[in-house]
Amino acid sequence: MFAVPANTVAVAENPALRHPVRVALAHAADRASWAHLLRYDPERRFAVLVSRTEAGEVWLMSWLPGQGTGLHDHGRVDGAFTVVSGELSELVVRRTTEGRVRESRRVLAAGQSRVFGPGYVHEVRNDGVDPAVSLHVYRAGGRTLRPYALDPLDGPVPR
């Protein structure tokens, strides 16, 4: 147990400093704030803005089986995404300090999150048999997607 001095003042949390995973999880828990926006598009991944503040943006995305983003980064923006339902696969591609091309794949289930920052090149897709829903947080600067191609020798190359 810790004693709190009598002159202690509680300072309100600065929303701009909240970790993007915490923001995504808080929005995921508040399903009533975004459920009415949810749609499924048979042609492509569906994305809609849920909220925008000076600290960043929150986007809702739905994924039917086989839908994905293509290889991309988010420019200078950092953030995170959380899988709300279903499963999503993430492919991360980078060059090592030795110059090798490294690929890593992860399958993310409901409740799992990933963080990204500048230079983080990845592809997110629904490789499963069921639809998936995710919430994405983009810090100040907003949602930016810069497409990449994968060169087997040079690694991720901006298009």
Asked if residues 15 and 55 have their Cβ atoms less than 8 Å apart, the reply is: yes
- To the question of whether residue 136 is assigned a binding role by annotation, the answer is no
Query: Is 27 annotated as ligand-binding?
Result: no
Tokens of 81: 């995404």
The token pair at 84 is: 């709300």
Cβ atoms of 108 and 88 within 8 Å: the answer is: yes
Lookup: tokens for 140 = 């100040």
Q: Residue 107 corresponds to which tokens in the numbers above?
A: 């399958």
Asked whether the beta carbons of 108 and 124 are under 8 A apart, the reply is: no
Instruction: Please check whether residue 101 is in contact with residue 153, taking contact to mean a CB–CB distance below 8 angstroms.
Output: yes
Q: Consult the annotation and say whether 72 binds a ligand.
A: yes
Give residue for tokens 């690694």: 155
Per the annotation, where are the binding residues? 72, 74, 122
Per the annotation, where are the binding residues for Fe cation? 72, 74, 122
